[in-house]
Amino acid sequence: MRIVLVGPPGAGKGTQAAFLAKNLSIPHISTGDLFRANISRQTELGKLAKSYMDAGNLVPDEVTIAMAKDRMEQPDALGGFLLDGFPRNVSQAEALDEMLKTEGLKLDAVLDLEVPDEEVVKRIAGRRICRNDSSHVYHVSYKAPAQEGLCDECGGELYQRDDDAEDTVRKRLEVYHTQTEPIIDYYKGQDLVVTISALGKVDEVTQRAMEALKREGDE
């Protein structure tokens, strides 16, 4: 299957993408990983992307599109893929359609993970990270440490990352609603959108997604 995963920050896209890709035996292609891989390998696209990032500018669509195209042409992605973080806007969605069309291919589904804004704010703004080890992650509501402000595992100080602050989260949501959300309407015009609730336990959301994609595949 060829699937695009869409959802606001904090919807659990990365987690769901990993589970779904494994269950469907297709590669998980995330823009974050693409950027990191190209930059670390110092490819021409990586150098170009880094020059924009170092200047504090957004990487232009054409660079992101070229990276995605290169990755989708790798042997492991020829039988299908799950795109996470791409396309990020309607012009990228149109470019993806053109890319697939030239190969005689098309998307099978666009999986829209739905989470209310206030739940997104609660999920992200409540996160606390250990200064000693960033893999030790807590949450003021869902996974509070035994002693407030201290890591259960190593006693390190817990802090809130700058980009997890509530006002930053709300700005990120605003960007999502204005730039990325319009691709849902774009794909609805092609009857590709499958919307599921991303509330609840991780495995429940995965189960919901698998059932929705199976129905889409059977139609």
Query: Which one is catalytic: 22, 41, 161, 214?
Result: 161
Q: 191 is written with which tokens?
A: 């009857």
Helix runs in the chain, H state only: 13-24, 31-40, 44-54, 61-72, 90-102, 117-125, 166-175, 182-188, 202-218
Residue 215 annotated as part of some ligand binding site: no
Q: Is 131 annotated as a binding residue?
A: no
Contact 130, 154 (CB under 8 A): yes
Q: Is 59 a known ligand-binding residue? A: yes
137 assigned to a ligand binding site: yes
Tell whether 58 is in a known binding site: yes
The length of the chain is 219
Q: Tell me if residue 172 is catalytic.
A: yes
Choose, from 88, 122, 123, 208, the residue flagged as catalytic.
88
Q: Which of 2, 122, 127, 128 is catalytic?
A: 127
Residue 14 marked as a ligand binder: yes
**Is 160 a known ligand-binding residue?**
no
Given the residues 2, 123, 172, 208, select the one marked as catalytic.
Answer: 172
The pair of structure tokens assigned to 124 is: 């992200």
In angstroms, the CA 196 to CA 24 distance is: 18
Structure tokens at 126: 């409540």
161 carries a ligand binding annotation: yes
Annotated ligand binding at 19? The verdict is: no
Asked whether residue 10 is marked as a ligand-binding residue, the answer is yes
Whether 41 is catalytic is no
Residue 13 annotated as catalytic: yes
Residue 101 to residue 95: CA distance in whole angstroms: 10
**Torsion-angle region of 149 (φ positive above 0: left; ψ -120 to 50: alpha; else: beta):** left
Distances (CA, A) of 91 to 36, 70, 95, 168: 23, 18, 6, 25
Residue 37 annotated as binding site: no
Whether 215 is catalytic is no
Residue 31 assigned as binding residue: yes
Residue 36 counted as an annotated binding residue: yes
85 CB-near residues (< 8 Å, 6+ apart): 13, 30, 31, 32
**Catalytic residue set:** 13, 88, 127, 161, 172
| Binding positions | 10-15, 31, 36, 57-59, 85-88, 92, 127, 137-138, 161, 172, 200
| Binding positions for AMP | 31, 36, 57-59, 85-88, 92, 161, 172
| Binding positions for ATP | 10-15, 127, 137-138, 200
